[in-house]
A and B are shown apart, each in its own frame.
Chain A
Amino acid sequence: MKFSIYQESRQGPRKSNQDRVAYCYSRDALCMTIADGMGGHLHGEVAAQIATQFISEAFQREAKPRLADPFKFLLDSITNAHHAIIDYANVRSLLETPRTTCVACIVQDGLAHWAHVGDSRLYLVRSGRVEAQTKDHSRVQILVDAGRVREEAVAAHPDRNKIFNCLGQMGPPRVDLSRRTALRHGDTILLATDGVWGPLTSRHLCEELLRNDIVKAVPILLDMAEARAGKDGDNASVVAMTWADELAAEADWISTVSMDPTHIKTTMEQFGRSKPPPGQAGYLTDDEIERAIDEIRNAIRKHSK
């Protein structure tokens, strides 16, 4: 497989970042996940973390280096992530189960497979046009389908945040599966939370992706989303991947051909990050840095003679 990949998550003006993004790949398969913990519910970020981590870990276990059945993997891992969230709430006797949206995409054999729950989206952009897109599990989407709200008005609709399907809800979530879609050279798959697609239109996405490669385009899109949303902005997160022919000349793209078939690379924001508290062992003050440098420079001088 050959591809370029980029992910970024921004907190925006919110008090915490409840979005989570992750990707991992083996020699033969790629897995991208995005989850948006639900703000109105307690521990939204916990639910989002459990979902991305659970799916990534399942991928690490099963993609050795291929998944037997990508759709079955998506269905099982997302459903199991839902149960893991419920278990988490039960063990801690939480009053309310944490909830999250989730989109996951598997690429294997040059074919994309995806599944979603809630209103985080996946776009497949081909030659500057949206080739495929997930349909939100939201009340306002039902109105759009019924022709009562225009697509462009979704972001401003008062019901835009009301979703009827998510992980952590009462009863099993409905996992919508995509069609198996063959990727072409230059196709971009972009997973985004509503903090991104809300303030932007699909035209913004397509135009920016035409102009720049994803490594440049995604930060620009996030800037745009932040600027357009202003102080009412939300957490905004994207993981995007551009597909290349195996023989394409993009030398610095990720090529998995030479990978050890048992190896998997994972990129995920760690929960709360392993941050040693200031003042404790491990944290360096400016003084300590200066002292360490002096010590090294002295050792160099002493041993150069």
Chain B
Amino acid sequence: MASQANIPLPEGYQLQTYRITKVLSAGGFSIVYLAHDEGDQPVAIKEYLPSSLALRREGDVLPSIAEDNLATFRYGMKCFFEEGRALAKLSHPNVVRVLNFFRANETVYLVMRYERGRTLQEHIQQRRGSMKENFIRRVFTLLLNGLREVHANKLLHLDIKPANVYIRNDITPVLIDFGAARQTLTAEGFKLNPMYTPGFASPEHYQKRELLGPWSDIYSVGSSIFACLAGAAPQAADLRLEKDRYVSATKLFNGKYSDQLLETIDWCLQIDHAKRPQSVMALQKVLLRERDPEGPSKRSFVANLRGTLVKLARR
């Protein structure tokens, strides 16, 4: 076994009306299971079980929570409720759907629709970046429909990254994992683990959290598109604040993708939040715009030619 981790519920375990099939993923904060309901429909169930506070040992169902940790355990439960509240209000084809929420085994469970497919992260890893522009535009345009719905409900996702974008087998995306989502950011200013992923989190995630807004999710969208091209996230925002080593997408991928897409990435990845697209709509407009009629292949030829000429001129 790896480092300290909770023992998941066993296969076949009957959790209220659901039967546990297997573990889909396990993190420091929760375990996600594949399960089947009474109608034998597959569902994904997320179990709140922060391993630093509650430990379930081999053969047990109830986690043991030290008296000392009980208050913190319950405090963390608030974040879990926040996720449930956020998702319950959203009914959109590009946002994961919550089906049920209940209390059992001294903790709480969130039941979601089970989607078949793979994360965008897996797509990126398989192709080592360099995804087709058409695929990127399609996936992100649809994803932004979902994100627009999130923002319209006065919510921020705050942890958008390729691992949290699920691509169904029909190539439609679903935004998953609202574990970091917050209603209003003043709400008691959650001190418990401000969650973020380096490279995808905006500069506001690290400092001046009061500036978090739709533009922060948009920064993460920009990083995610960047990762589709590069195979990895751009330099982390906190390091960019110290010394910005971000090389613009326009420069890095010149000729390989349309200028317009590359400029859009750079626009989303502005350090100054006011200089980014201010709303999902603004960003969607650009992504939806017809691609350059010249197309990337022709451009790259021209760009190459230009490059060669420059080299020749330097001699």
Contact = CB atoms under 8 A, between A and B. Distances in A.
Interface stretch (B95-103, B166-174, B264-272): B95-103
A288 to B, nearest CB: 9
A238 to B, nearest CB: 12
Given A262-B236, A275-B68, A282 B78 contact: yes
B75 A299 contact: no
Nearest to A263: B198
A293 B108 contact: yes
A148 interface: no
Interface string A163-190: 0000000000000000000000000000
A289 B199 contact: no
B4 A262 contact: no
A6 B108 CA distance: 27
A213 B1 contact: yes
A214 B1 CA distance: 9
B129 to A, nearest CB: 15
A292 B81 CA distance: 7
Given A7-B4, A274-B191, A283 B101 contact: no
Nearest to A291: B81
Among A215, A267, A278, A284: residue with most chain B CB under 10 A:
A284
A216 B102 CA distance: 32
A285 B95 CA distance: 31
Given A260-B198, A296-B88, A299-B88, A275 B71 contact: yes
Interface residues of B, number: 34
Contact of B102 (A4, A5, A273, A293): A293
B91 interface: yes
A97 to B, nearest CB: 27
Interface in A238-296: 252-254, 260, 262-263, 267, 273-278, 281-284, 289-290, 292-293, 295-296
Q: Looking at B101, B102, B198, which has the most chain A CB atoms within 10 Å of its CB?
A: B101
B239 interface: yes
Given A254-B2, A275-B71, A276-B71, A293 B103 contact: yes
A296 B85 contact: yes
Contacts of B103: 289-290, 293
B85 A276 contact: no
Contact of A299 (B3, B69, B85, B102): B85
A75 B56 CA distance: 39
A22 to B, nearest CB: 13
B81 A262 contact: no
Interface string A1-21: 000111110000000000000
B89 interface: yes
B72 A4 contact: no
B84 interface: yes
A292 B98 CA distance: 15
B74 A303 contact: no
B74 A274 contact: no
B77 interface: yes
A4 B1 contact: yes
A156 B239 CA distance: 54
A283 B75 contact: yes
Nearest to A262: B239
A299 to B, nearest CB: 4
A283 to B, nearest CB: 6
Given A4-B1, A252-B1, A297-B100, A274 B88 contact: no
A95 interface: no
Interface residues on A, range: 35 or more
B163 interface: no
A93 interface: no
Nearest to A297: B101
A140 to B, nearest CB: 33
A270 to B, nearest CB: 9
A275 B2 contact: no
B77 A4 contact: no
Contacts of A292: 81, 84-85
A32 to B, nearest CB: 12
Nearest to B91: A303
A91 interface: no
Contacts of A275: 68, 71-72
Contacts of A213: 1
A130 B227 CA distance: 47
A300 interface: yes
Given A215-B1, A296-B81, A303-B89, A283 B74 contact: yes
Contacts of B210: none
B90 interface: yes
A73 B280 CA distance: 48
A262 B240 CA distance: 12
Contact of A289 (B1, B71, B74): B74
Contacts of A297: 88, 100-102
Given A262-B236, A283-B71, A296-B85, A4 B101 contact: no
B294 interface: no
Contacts of B5: 215
Given A263-B198, A293-B102, A284 B88 contact: no
8 contacts: A262-B236, A263-B198, A274-B191, A275-B72, A284-B75, A296-B85, A297-B102, A300-B99
Given A4-B1, A299-B89, 18 more contacts: A215-B1, A252-B2, A254-B2, A260-B199, A273-B72, A274-B192, A275-B68, A275-B72, A278-B71, A282-B75, A284-B77, A289-B74, A292-B84, A293-B101, A296-B81, A297-B100, A297-B101, A299-B85
Closest 6 pairs (CB-CB, A-B): A299-B88, A284-B74, A215-B1, A296-B84, A252-B2, A296-B101
